[in-house]
Amino acid sequence: MANSMMDQDILKVLYTPEQIRARVQELGDALYEAFQGRNPLFLGVLKGSFIFMADIIRACQVKSDLEFIAVSSYQNGTKSSGVVQILHDLQQDITGREIVVIEDILDSGNTLFFLKNYFMTKGAKSVTIVTLLDKPSRRAKAITADYAGFVVPDEFVVGYGLDYAQQYRNLPYIGVLKPEVYTKRAD
Ligand code: IMP
Ligand code: MG
């Protein structure tokens, strides 16, 4: 694969496409064991989870359907604002459903803390949290993932769906962004 201009903004690669694929399959196998016969609703948190969502549903061949919700807690910076806004709401009734939330990264926990309560308020029977990445060092809310792909250090990561200011989502690996890329901006 040709090197991209984006690669120059990456300090180091944390997980290669091969490592991601192997770990996603392990998560898919675990979810299969947990959810076969239960018709779960896979619920992706946009935009960051869209690539993980596409891969995990194919790695878990249970009868299921899927839904998305779009939220925002960042204003193009690298720190959560703490206020979660719904940008695109659920398009179906989730009463009585077993929800499997698919998220890219659990950081401060603000997003998933809010969403878990939101889905319970909407009548979900259960809410299971699946996150590709977990950054526990930054947790501000009492929330844990039921399934986590990789535990990452307190560095800003991009790729495989994760962005900085909406860019780098299309990198096939997960890497640490060079701090000078975001510190040169005035946010
Ligand atoms: P939380 O609400 O702080 O847990 O953050 C959750 C959301 O923040 C994730 O869904 C990501 O969209 C974003 N986020 C947190 N940490 C990172 C990171 O290191 N890189 C890219 N996005 C991140
Ligand atoms: Mg996200």
**Average pLDDT score over residue span 56-83:** 86
**Phi/psi of residue 64, nearest 5 degrees:** -165, 170
Active site residues: 107
Tokens of 10: 């990456």
**Considering the chain, what is the average pLDDT of its residues?**
94
117-161 tens-digit pLDDT:
999 999 999 999 999 999 999 999 999 999 999 999 999 999 999
pLDDT of res. 78: 66
**Average pLDDT score over residue span 30-56:** 98
| Domains of the chain, earliest start first | 18-155 (3.40.50.2020)
Neighbours of 87 (CB within 10 A): 10
Taking the C-alpha atoms of 78, 82, 88 and 89 in order, what is their torsion angle to the nearest 10 degrees? 150
Instruction: Give the global pTM.
Output: 0.94
75-105 tens-digit pLDDT:
656 666 778 999 999 999 999 999 999 999 9
Q: Ligand 1 pocket: which of 86, 105, 139, 166 to mutate (most atoms <8 Å of CB)? A: 105
Please say if the pLDDT value at position 185 is more than 60. Answer: no
C-alpha 27/C-alpha 33 separation (Å) is 10
2-20 tens-digit pLDDT:
678 999 999 999 999 999 9
Tokens of 80: 């959560």
Ligand 1 pocket, CB under 6 A: 45, 48, 73-74, 80, 103-111, 156-158, 162
C-alpha 11/C-alpha 66 separation (Å) is 35
Please give the share of the chain, as a percent, with pLDDT higher than 90: 88
